[in-house]
């Protein structure tokens, strides 16, 4: 497998550090609000990465944190008149509602920053002891200049960073490029006791601490949104490697932006859609399809038009799946003939194409093309006279590969209640009697109930709208 590594800025062959085990840490949301479609892209991307590793037989340990203490959390909690803890609890719950809907599997561990205050304090102590951090009036800062390779991830050198660096009012850094590990308590803020006085952790330290605690000192893959490259991941590397003396992450993966009108979607620009509101209008899988239909490092210019296109494209896949399901009931059980063996061979080639694409830095767009190739092949070659085995194998294959991308969670053979079944039979009789007015009326009635009928040579096929 090849993965593009932000550290080296090129695709590299990926091998886990430890045998078959792959450790992945993805930076999760700050839980002060519903997450937006741009956030969703990152969650879905790492979900696919994880699923694919598992599909290839790796033993994956996946950690995604919740940042539940920072300036935005404090601000929002004050606005709402609730505690930071209450705010975090609430939006973690809301996170899971949306993530579950998107069929994003839950991480093996979802650590919260506030559950790791003791670990964070211990970690900061180590950095101070080793001379990488210093205390000023209850704040603790990391001395970036002491870490020789600072800037290696973002490709910045110290002088340039210094030129652009800002010092917030009240900060007491010795050097503008230093960053806070611990912030002394200000009035009205939640705080924890520490050797440096009451205070709270800085942002970057939590991820270093939680990644190392749950996955070890060197993890295989670390990633998140592209705007985390600097300063967040840069700082994580510095802290972690300063403390442990070991490489922090072997691969860094960063997802492309999700834009609106070609501009970055962000809370601060206000040009965002929450997943919650998109799900009022579209099925969650449509959003997932959209995300996965382009390469994860390319920008996506999000729009309703794109959602509509994705919806139609996904429907082609589902229609084929329901057709397979139907054929599975009516086709004869007999050995494969020569053509069907050829057909299945072609389908296995399509499977190889899927895997080759995924092996190449998770080229989901190419993988989806293989899925469509598979569907066309099925539509062309299989019908009511085909061997049932050929149908079943196709269906299993499509479900298997689609599952790697997190598709088809909604696919289930449609069960009909007796009333609907009776109506379908009535319609069939009307058609035989050439009473098409009645037949069409029944079809319309069923459509209103969400059942779509399709007349095929193999009999009536139905699916839910």
Partner RNA sequence: GGCGGCAUAGCCAAGUGGUAAGGCAGAGGUCUGCAAAACCUCUAUCCCCAGUUCGAAUCUGGGUGCCGCCUCCA
Binding mask 81-120 for RNA (x = CB under 7 A): ----------------------------------------
Binding mask 342-371 for RNA (x = CB under 7 A): ---------------x--x--x-xx-xx--
Q: Does 456 sit near RNA (CB under 7 A)?
A: yes
Q: Does 431 sit near RNA (CB under 7 A)?
A: yes
Q: Give me the sign of the Cα torsion angle 48, 49, 50, 54.
A: positive
CA distance 205 to 221: 18
Name which of 21 and 349 has its Cβ closer to RNA: 349
Q: Please, is 338 exposed, middle or buried when counting C-beta atoms within 10 Å of its C-beta (0-12, 13-18, 19+)? A: exposed
Question: Strand pairing partners for 140?
Answer: 135, 182
Q: Does 231 sit near RNA (CB under 7 A)?
A: yes
Binding residue for RNA (CB under 7 A) from 149, 157, 337, 385? 157
Q: Does 230 sit near RNA (CB under 7 A)?
A: yes
- Contacting range for RNA; rule: CB under 7 A; set: 82-90, 134-142, 241-249, 451-459: 451-459
- Non-local (6+) Cβ contacts of 157 within 8 A are 151
- Contacting range for RNA; rule: CB under 7 A; set: 66-74, 124-132, 343-351, 411-419: 66-74
* φ and ψ of 193, to 5 deg: -70, 145
Binding residue for RNA (CB under 7 A) from 301, 346, 392, 409? 301
Binding residue for RNA (CB under 7 A) from 60, 278, 375, 401? 375
Structural element, H or E, at residue 12: strand 10-13
Of 159-198, binders to RNA (CB under 7 A) are: 160-161, 163-166
CA distance 254 to 229: 8
Distance in Å, CB of 301 to RNA, minimum:
6
Of 116-145, binders to RNA (CB under 7 A) are: none
Looking up tokens 């993530």 gives 99
The DSSP symbol for 232 reads: I
Name which of 201 and 225 has its Cβ closer to RNA: 225
Name which of 54 and 154 has its Cβ closer to RNA: 154
Question: Strand pairing partners for 145?
Answer: none
For Cα atoms 225, 231, 234, give the angle at the middle one, nearest 5 degrees. 90
Name which of 195 and 459 has its Cβ closer to RNA: 459
- Non-local (6+) Cβ contacts of 121 within 8 A are 182, 192, 194, 195
Q: Does 382 sit near RNA (CB under 7 A)?
A: no
| Structure tokens, 15 | 């091998």
CA-atom Rg of the chain in angstroms: 27
Looking up tokens 């992450």 gives 249
Write a three-state SS string for 350-388: HHHHHHHHHHECCCHHHHHHHHHHHHHHHHHHCCCCCCH
Name which of 131 and 155 has its Cβ closer to RNA: 155
Q: Does 276 sit near RNA (CB under 7 A)?
A: no
Binding residue for RNA (CB under 7 A) from 284, 320, 355, 404? 320
Write a three-state SS string for 92-117: HHHHHHHHHHCCCCCCCECCEHHHHH
Binding residue for RNA (CB under 7 A) from 21, 172, 267, 388? 267
Coil vs helix vs strand at 262: coil
Q: How big is the site for RNA, counted in residues (CB under 7 A)?
A: 82
Q: Does 78 sit near RNA (CB under 7 A)?
A: no
Distance in Å, CB of 243 to RNA, minimum:
20
Of 233-262, binders to RNA (CB under 7 A) are: 255, 257-259, 262
Distance in Å, CB of 433 to RNA, minimum:
11
Are 270 and 253 within 8 A, CB to CB? Answer: no
Distance in Å, CB of 3 to RNA, minimum:
13
Question: Strand pairing partners for 225?
Answer: none
Distance in Å, CB of 430 to RNA, minimum:
8
- Contacting range for RNA; rule: CB under 7 A; set: 142-150, 154-162, 244-252, 339-347: 154-162
Binding residue for RNA (CB under 7 A) from 298, 329, 334, 400? 298
CA distance 163 to 150: 15
Q: Does 372 sit near RNA (CB under 7 A)?
A: yes
Residue 106, CB half-sphere, CA atoms under 13 Å: how many? 10
């Amino acid at each position: 497998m090849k993965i593009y590594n932000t550290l080296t800025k090129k695709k590299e062959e990926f091998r886990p550090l430890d045998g078959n085990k792959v450790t992945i840490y993805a930076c999760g949301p700050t839980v002060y609000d519903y997450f937006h479609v741009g956030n969703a892209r990152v969650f879905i991307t790492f979900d696919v990465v994880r699923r694919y590793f598992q599909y290839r037989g790796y033993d994956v340990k996946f950690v995604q944190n919740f940042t539940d203490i920072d300036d935005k959390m404090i601000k929002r909690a004050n606005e709402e008149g609730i505690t930071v803890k209450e705010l975090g609890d609430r939006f973690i719950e809301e996170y899971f509602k949306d993530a579950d809907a998107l069929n994003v599997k839950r991480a093996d561990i979802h650590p919260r920053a506030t559950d790791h205050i003791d670990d964070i304090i211990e970690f900061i102590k180590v950095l101070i002891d080793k001379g990488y951090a210093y205390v000023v009036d209850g704040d603790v800062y990391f001395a970036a200049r002491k870490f020789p390779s600072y800037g290696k991830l973002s490709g910045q050198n110290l002088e340039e960073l210094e030129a652009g660096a800002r010092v917030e009012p009240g900060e007491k850094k010795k050097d503008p490029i230093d960053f806070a590990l611990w912030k002394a308590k200000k009035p009205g803020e939640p705080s924890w006791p520490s050797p440096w006085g009451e205070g709270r952790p800085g942002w970057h330290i939590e991820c270093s601490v939680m990644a190392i605690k749950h996955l070890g000192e060197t993890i295989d893959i670390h990633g998140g949104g592209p705007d985390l490259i600097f300063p967040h991941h840069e700082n994580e590397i510095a802290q972690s490697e300063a403390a442990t003396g070991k490489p922090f992450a072997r691969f860094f993966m960063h997802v492309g932006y999700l834009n609106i009108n070609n501009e970055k979607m962000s809370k601060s620009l206000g040009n965002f859609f929450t997943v919650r509101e998109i799900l009022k209008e579209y099925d969650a899988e449509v959003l997932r399809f959209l995300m996965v239909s382009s390469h994860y490092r390319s920008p996506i210019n999000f729009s309703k038009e794109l959602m509509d296109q994705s919806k139609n494209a996904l429907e082609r896949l589902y229609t084929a799946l329901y057709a397979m399901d139907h054929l599975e009931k009516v086709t004869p059980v007999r050995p494969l003939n020569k053509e069907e063996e050829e057909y299945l061979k072609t389908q296995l080639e399509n499977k190889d194409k899927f895997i080759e694409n995924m092996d190449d830095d998770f080229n989901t767009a190419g993988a989806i093309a293989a899925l469509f190739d598979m569907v066309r092949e099925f539509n062309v070659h299989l019908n009511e006279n085909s061997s049932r085995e050929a149908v079943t194998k196709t269906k299993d294959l499509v479900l298997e590969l689609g599952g790697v991308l997190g598709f088809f969670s909604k696919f289930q053979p449609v069960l009909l209640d007796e009333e609907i079944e009776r109506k379908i039979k009535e319609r069939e009789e009307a058609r035989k009697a050439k009473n098409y007015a009645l037949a069409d009326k029944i079809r319309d009635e069923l459509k209103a109930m969400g059942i779509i009928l399709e007349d095929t040579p193999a009999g009536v096929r139905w699916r839910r709208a």
